Each structure stands twice: as structure tokens, then as C-alpha cells.
Amino acid sequence: MNWDETGPDTGELTDERFHDRLVDGGADGEDTAVEAALRPKDLGEFIGQEKVREQLDLVLKAALARGATADHVLLSGAPGLGKTTLSMIIAAEMNAPIRITSGPAIQHAGDLAAILSSLQEGEVLFLDEIHRMSRPAEEMLYMAMEDFRVDVIVGKGPGATAIPLELPPFTLVGATTRAGLLPPPLRDRFGFTAHMEFYAPTELERVVHRSAGLLDVAIDTDGAAEIAGRSRGTPRIANRLLRRVRDYAQVKAEGRIDREIAAAALRVYEVDERGLDRLDRGVLEALLKLFGGGPVGLSTLAVAVGEERETVEEVAEPFLVREGLLARTPRGRVATPAAWAHLGLVPPQHTAKGQQGLFGA
Ligand SMILES: Nc1ncnc2c1ncn2[C@@H]1O[C@H](COP(=O)(O)OP(=O)(O)OP(=O)(O)O)[C@@H](O)[C@H]1O
Ligand SMILES: [Mg+2]
């Protein structure tokens, strides 16, 4: 977890800068290496997301019964919630091959035309990060999704001609962490949209048990619950914490994980009971101890924790807000009563009064 050793800011704040964080939902190198082994292979094995699973099950079964290709599916949700996993499950359930590509890999319409024209009938085309596709490719995709046809442009300028190309029916599975960035014409062309929610602790407990089984790790119910509670509602984080706890248990406890071992291990890795790491706690502590719980401006808060504004705003705050520990108000950042409780601190009298209006206390 060396988020403070990631070197100079390279401009755009990419997720990658913080993928070393144990509690980041995005995939790091190690995740990618082990995830293939941990991915559920069919809908029955896929834990949680009851609604999505039920609806998808109907969509796929109906298509199978009709002997047709399934409708296009859009999967939206935060990193690590199972979008890639679900796309592979869709192909498996349809007994169809799957082709995997991503928005950033398709820079020209020609790139997309090449992929589309080589699809087999019924194939699943998984387009990850679909919101990052180029505009011309996007427009080609509209027609391909609707009419299973693309116009390949040959030549340039006034002499250019469009040669129509028929495509075999296929199922597009698009994935995005930013559904709001998709242009409506694209969103509307999906027959089924699945919004993936964060997982409940009991669901993550099942994820941890399942992964422990596959990794041949001995863990009891309390140990799994301890890891699940610190995983920020995200299966990828649960799997990652499980691997770190396993390391600790191997060295200190002959490989057996119970609540105490899990808690001790995650203390070493600085992931607290609610899944906050050093950065998150640093922000909260500054807000509470230096600014009496706020309101304080983002820039001031960032200087106090020795981080860039963007880091505080885009890396730490979203989870703190989601957890109801911090509020963004027009007057600045404000700690909620839950934040004081979480850090075991007592709010000073005057602040409690000053915040009455904000929290209706
Ligand atoms: N419902 C689930 N049940 C069990 N394991 C899951 C589930 N969802 C995800 N996982 C596990 O979490 C890991 C991450 O899932 P996946 O790669 O599908 O996430 P993603 O949504 O595609 O993330 P990203 O946005 O980074 O691409 C997988 O290795 C898988 O083992
Ligand atoms: Mg993915």
C-alpha cells in the first residue's frame, strides 16, 4: 500500500496510480493473474446481485429456447463488482464463444469493422469500458447492434464510397463503470441493462468462503466475516484481502484463518474494520483533529494530509461519502457524527452546535 510513493503526478488522475492500494476496486497485476481461477463459471455460482441474476437468467433462457441470439446486454457498476465475470458467464450460458476487447482498444471505426466482420454467428462480443470508445466507432456500433450491418468506407473525400457489409447476429455485452457517460442512442440499443450494486457483507462472506475453498485456505465463519466487513462491498477487494490474510496466517498461524488472525493481519496492512485504509483515515483524522470536523475547503484539507486535491477528492472521498462519514457541502467538507464515532473521538461542543443545521441534530 504505497500510495504515497507513486511518483510525480502525470496529469490526469488515473485509477492506476492507486491500484497499489489494497482497498482499490480496480485490478492490479496480481489480481489479473489469480482472477481467472476465482471467477464463477455460471449464473448458479455467481453470488449476490439477485435481481440482475434473475433477469439475466430469463433473458438467456428465453433466447436459448427460441434458438436465437440473446439481446445486447449492458453491465454497469463500480470496478471489481463482476462485470467481466458476468460477460463470460453470459457466453458460457449461451454455449457461445466470446471475443474480448475494450473501448480504448478501438480507436478507429476500421478497428471495430475488423472485429465485427470476423464474428461467428451467436458469438458474444465483450466490449469493456465501452464509454471510452471513439465517436466514429460508436456510430458504426449503433448500426451493427440494430441491423447487424456496417458500412465500410472505402476511399477518402468526394470519391469515398460506403460498402455495406452484412454481419452474423451476435450479442454485444458492454461494460462500463460510468453509465452516465454513455450517449443515449447507445444506451437505448441495449435490450437489457444490469446495474451492479455493491455487495452486502453476507454475500461477500460467501465470496470469501468460495475463494478460500478454491485457494485451499482454511478459514472459519468469523474469519470470513471479518474480511468481508472490510471489503467495501467489492468481491475483488474481498479476494485480495483474503490473499493478504492468507500470507499472514501462513507465517503466524499455520495457515488457519479465524477472526483474530484476520483482524491482526489487516491491522498490519492498515485496513480498518470498515475498510478504510491509511489515506482514508488520514483525511478523516485531519478533518476531525485539525478542523474540528469542518466545514473546511478541499484544498486546505488536501494540504493538511499532504496529498493532491484530486487524490483526496477522487480517491479517498467517494468511499467516505458512501459510508456516510463525510459530507460535501457548499461551505466545505464536513465530518458526520459517524466519523467521530468511527475514530473514537468526541466532537467538541461548539462544532456540534455549529453543525446542528447540517445534520438536524
Ligand atoms: N458475484 C460474484 N461471485 C463471486 N465472485 C465474484 C463475483 N463478482 C466478482 N467476483 C470476483 O471478483 C473478481 C473481479 O470481478 P470482475 O473482474 O468481473 O470485475 P469487473 O466488474 O469486471 O471489474 P472492472 O471494472 O475492474 O473491470 C473476479 O475475479 C471474481 O472472482
Ligand atoms: Mg472487468
Model pLDDT for residues 126-156, shown as the tens digit of each residue: 999 999 999 999 999 999 999 999 988 888 8
Taking the domain 49-195, which CATH number applies?
3.40.50.300
Q: Residues of 306-315 as b/e, b for ≥16 C-beta within 10 angstroms?
A: ebeeebbbeb
Taking the domain 201-268, which CATH number applies?
1.10.8.60
278-359 belongs to CATH 3.30.365.10: no
Q: 263: helix, coil or strand?
A: helix
The reported pLDDT for the residue numbered 38 is 92
The reported pLDDT for the residue numbered 162 is 87
Candidates 322, 323, 82; CA nearest to 206 is 82
Q: Where in the chain is the domain with CATH 3.40.50.300?
A: 49-195
- With a 6 A CB cut-off, is 79 part of the ligand 1 pocket? yes
- Burial class (CB within 10 angstroms; exposed 0-12, middle 13-18, buried 19+) of 13: middle
Q: Which residues of the chain have pLDDT under 50?
A: 1-15, 352-354, 357, 360-361
Residue 255 CB contacts under 8 Å (≥ 6 apart), including other chains = 217, 218, 246, 249
Distance CA 280, CA 129 (A): 27
User: Annotation-wise, does 258 bind a ligand?
Assistant: no
Q: Where in the chain is the domain with CATH 1.10.8.60?
A: 201-268
User: Annotation-wise, does 126 bind a ligand?
Assistant: no
Residue 359 CB contacts under 8 Å (≥ 6 apart), including other chains = 336, 337
The reported pLDDT for the residue numbered 327 is 96
Q: Tell whether pTM > 0.85.
A: yes
Q: Where in the chain is the domain with CATH 1.10.10.10?
A: 278-359
Active site residues: 83-84, 128, 177, 236
Closest C-alpha to ligand 1, atom 25: 79
Tell me if 105 sits within 8 A of 196, measured CB to CB: no
Nearest ligand (C-alpha, residue 77) = 1
Q: Which three cell numbers stand for residue 234?
A: 467489492
Q: Which three cell numbers stand for residue 238?
A: 474481498
Q: Where are the beta strands (DSSP E) in 144-260?
A: 149-154, 161-166, 171-176, 192-195, 218-219, 256-257
Tell me if 89 sits within 8 A of 42, measured CB to CB: yes
Tell me if 196 sits within 8 A of 83, measured CB to CB: yes
User: Annotation-wise, does 180 bind a ligand?
Assistant: no
The reported pLDDT for the residue numbered 107 is 87
Distance CA 99, CA 110 (A): 17
Nearest ligand (C-alpha, residue 30) = 1
- Nearest 5 degrees, angle CA 282-CA 286-CA 292? 145
Distance CA 177, CA 160 (A): 37
The reported pLDDT for the residue numbered 278 is 92
Tell me if 119 sits within 8 A of 168, measured CB to CB: yes
Q: Which three cell numbers stand for residue 348?
A: 467538541
Distance CA 25, CA 42 (A): 22
- With a 6 A CB cut-off, is 228 part of the ligand 1 pocket? no
